[in-house]
Amino acid sequence: MEITTADDGVFERAARIGTEQRNPASLGLDEMSALEVLELLNTEDGNAVAAVRSVLPQLAELVEAAAGRVRAGGRVHYFGAGTSGRLAVLDAAELLPTFNLPDGVVIAHIAGGDAAVTRAVENAEDSREAGAREAGDLGPDDVAIGITASGMTPYVGGALEAARANGALTALVACNADAALAPLADIPVLAVTGPEVLSGSTRLKAGTAEKLILNGFSTALMVALGRTWSNLMVSVVATNEKLRARTTRILMQALEIEQGEARELLESAGGDLKAALVAGLASVGVDEARSLLEETRGSVRDAIARAVRS
């Protein structure tokens, strides 16, 4: 009996992509010891790191383009399904506590909605229409980043197509050289990771590569937007005791002062680390520090430079 699929073209394309091939190094996977399996996984993760390094120029281009649009009031939207979507949700969620980024600046969309974060939603990734709907309100100042290991997920394709039609900048993060959706991306970021240790399980090194790319993109974007000072997390939201202690340490490190003085300065600034930092570094009052930060969209470095010029 001949076995067919609903779309033999999709079947044939999927069979050709690198992440679906069998990895010769793991043909004896079920005969390996636990240590041997872990060593092989670790080796392949190293290959993922190398694949990401090869696309850093394209990723830098995306960071710079996104920073310009966010400064103009635009937003960054991630679109993904399955593992890719969950990684996107994680990356976006971590930007508030780390960088005090307001809601609605970096937004993650996952095929199947919130339920898909913790449980697989069957067939959600196959809906090009759902992706198009979720990207329907993007505009020329926005950025749409599709994340898909295979580079052919219909949900992501629908989103990129709709975003491009509305004038948004589009990008694709994928782990195959011949990503079918690449023509929909103004900036393709294709980190070719090759066959997985467990064939087709792209939660492994393809997921590692996607996580590295998202980490790099969002961190570099926040640096470009002035939400750090030096290598310090000066925008961190102190919502618990650990983070309140961290803000004190950051101020101590930046100003080279003792703990008591740092706490007093933070208290005078109402716990606002950036205001305390600008006040200390620019030798101005807390109220003036706040005004300078407002004028420079929260950039500590630009606020200090403006204080020096005045």
Which residues are identified as catalytic? 94, 125
* Neighbour-count burial of 234, counting CB atoms closer than 10 A to its CB (0-12 exposed, 13-18 middle, 19+ buried): buried
Q: What is the DSSP letter of 233?
A: -
What is residue 153's three-state secondary structure?
coil
Distance CA 268, CA 274 (A): 12
Lookup: tokens for 128? 């090009």
Edge-to-edge strand list for the sheet holding 106-110:
106-110, 76-80, 143-147, 169-174, 187-190
Contact 99, 233 (CB under 8 A): yes
H helices present in 100-240, as ranges: 128-134, 154-165, 205-224
Contact 206, 18 (CB under 8 A): no
Lookup: tokens for 188? 């393709």
Distance CA 55, CA 35 (A): 31
The single residue listed with the structure tokens 């002035």 is 226
In degrees rounded to 5, what are phi and psi of residue 35? -65, -40
